[in-house]
Amino acid sequence: MVPRSGNALVDALSRREREKFIAACERVELTLGDTLCKPGEQIQHVYFPLSSYISLITPKGASESLEVGLVGREGSFGLTILLDIETSSLQGLTQGAGSALRMTAQQLRRRAKATPQMQKIFNRYLYVLMAQVAQTAACSRFHHLEARLARWLLMTHDRARGNVFPLTHVFLAHMLGVRRAGVTTVARRLQTEKLITYSRGVVRVLDREGLEALACPCYRAFNEMYRAHLSDHQN
């Protein structure tokens, strides 16, 4: 039996296609804070996180930049090349260190065109990811900071494989779309409510259910959309 890779998109492929796909990938270790691609740069590689996770961040404009997506072992970074888009509109920044499978953009495009099942799975994920980006943009406009932080902590917790993960003020500022001065206040509120502890750039989740109760509806909406469009491909 072909072993699973640890990435949901790769593991949704048939056993034969999964074996060939994994063999064609390079396994890499991503370091916290690594920039995988900058806005406007040509996408050279497509990443399929295993234990790492990647923030999708808008270019810095007149004020702060904003995180509009998070990619972990459920997805991929760089798949927009399948839309014949060779450059990235977002910054891909490693938020959680760990391993990933990596394939050149050219090779992945060629393989997807030759494999209808792969094309279908990846296209569905692109749809879900674009919906996440749109949902996050609306979330940052209409929902309170505490609810947005709870949503983001839950998304990170889902991908971090543990209750403890690194969290710097820089990443928090990206996520919330605010300056660092406003970050500490919001994090302290969650500590006071005993939902998390946060010290020296590390967060520990103490009350998952409490975070779910506080989080805005966007967290549930994204998970439901992922299940609706991709769960039938998980095998």
* Positive or negative torsion for Cα 40, 41, 44, 49: negative
pLDDT(54) > 80: yes
How much is the average pLDDT of 194-206? Answer: 92
For the domain that residue 109 is a member of, what is the CATH number? 2.60.120.10
Asked if 99 and 199 sit in the same domain, the reply is no
How much is the average pLDDT of 214-224? Answer: 91
The answer to whether 9 touches 46, Cβ cutoff 8 Å, is: no
Q: How confident is the model at residue 61 (pLDDT cuts 50, 70, 90)?
A: low
Per-residue model confidence as pLDDT tens digits over 109-163: 999 999 999 999 999 999 999 988 888 878 877 788 888 889 989 999 999 989 9
* Enclosing domain of residue 180: 144-215
Provide the domain count of the chain: 2
Q: How confident is the model at residue 63 (pLDDT cuts 50, 70, 90)?
A: low
Q: Is the pTM of this model over 0.85?
A: yes
Per-residue model confidence as pLDDT tens digits over 74-96: 999 999 999 999 999 999 999 99
Asked if 38 and 91 sit in the same domain, the reply is yes
Asked if 117 and 211 sit in the same domain, the reply is no
Q: Tokens for 24?
A: 């064609």
Cα distances from 137 to residues 46, 58, 117, 140, 176, in angstroms, run 24, 10, 31, 5, 11
pLDDT of residue 18: 95
